[in-house]
C-alpha cells in the first residue's frame, strides 16, 4: 500500500519536473528572446 503511494508520488514528481523543463525550454521561444538567460536563472534560483 505504502509502496503504491510512493510510486504515485514519484510518477507525479516526474511529470511535474518534465512540465517545468518543457515550459522553461519553450519560454525563450514564446517570448522571442526578450528574457535573458541570466534573468531567467535569477528567477529560478533565489
Q: Are 40 and 24 in contact, with CB atoms under 8 Å apart?
A: yes
pTM: 0.52
Q: Given the C-alpha cell 518534465, which residue does it identify? A: 18
At 1-45, the pLDDT tens digits run 899 999 999 999 999 988 888 887 777 666 665 656 666 666 665
Distance CA(44)–CA(46), nearest Å, equals 6
Distance CA(36)–CA(38), nearest Å, equals 5
What is the predicted pLDDT for the residue at 12? 95
Cell numbers placing 17: 519536473
Amino acid at each position: 500500500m505504502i509502496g503504491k503511494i510512493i510510486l504515485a508520488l514519484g510518477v507525479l514528481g516526474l511529470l511535474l519536473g518534465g512540465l517545468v523543463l518543457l515550459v522553461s525550454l519553450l519560454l525563450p521561444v514564446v517570448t522571442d528572446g526578450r528574457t535573458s538567460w541570466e534573468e531567467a536563472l535569477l528567477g529560478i534560483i533565489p
